Amino acid sequence: MPESVHSPSERVAEAARSRSLRVEFRERPAAESLEEAASLLGLQPADIVKTLVVKRTDDTYLFALIPGDRAISWPKLRAVVGVNKLRLPEPELALAATGFERGTITPIGSSTDWPVFADESIVGRRIAMGAGAHGYSAFVDADELIRAYSATVADISEERSG
């Protein structure tokens, strides 16, 4: 079907169904901080997982799933991926690579199935993540997500500074 027929969140729901992944979509109010967002959703900050689109030097991408209370560790991620350089792309490149705007990005329903790297700390948790549309969160069992996307699980995060 043409992309115009599906909103991003419909794309996420369809992709989840195609991989037998159970996803609950929940409308969420805007928040001023991670801690406020977690409180509004009845979660701990670690249960909100950021999906970071990471660009390789060969113009391919990968997804890094990082708990909200942690930051990406570039040295650890480079070691796991086996490359010397990785970076966050500009917003327009992230949109082109995934079909999702920043703040809504998820590997579920991405316009391209880039490899997924999940921080080991999300294993065994029910997590909230981008849902493909602003104002919504997708709740999913992290282990099911890891299985559905054959994600590489590794220590790729560090404590947030500040």
CATH code for position 97: 3.90.960.10
Tell me what the pLDDT averaged over the chain comes to. Answer: 92
User: What span, in angstroms and rounded, lies between the C-alpha atoms of 141 and 139?
Assistant: 7
Task: Decide: 111 and 104 in contact? Cβ < 8 Å.
Answer: no
Give the model's confidence band at 7: pLDDT under 50 very low, under 70 low, under 90 confident, else very high.
Answer: low
Domain span at residue 12? Answer: 3-159
pLDDT reported for residue 29: 84
pLDDT computed for residue 8 by the predictor: 67
**Structure pTM?**
0.93
Q: What is the mean pLDDT of residues 83-98?
A: 97
Pick from 8-17, 89-98, 139-148: least confident: 8-17
The CA-atom distances, in angstroms, between 16 and each of 13, 30, 51, 122, 151 are: 5, 25, 16, 19, 15
Q: Is the per-residue pLDDT at 73 higher than 70? A: yes
* pLDDT tens-place string over residues 96-135: 999 999 989 999 999 999 999 999 999 999 999 999 998 8
pLDDT recorded at residue 31: 83
Residue position matching structure tokens 């199935």: 113
Of residues 88, 99, 102, the one with CA closest to residue 134? 102
Compute the average pLDDT of residues 1-6.
44
Percent of the chain with pLDDT over 90: 81
Domain total in the chain: 1
CA 88 – CA 55 distance, rounded (Å): 6
pLDDT in tens, 15-53: 999 999 999 999 888 888 888 889 988 999 999 999 999
Q: What is the pLDDT of residue 5?
A: 45
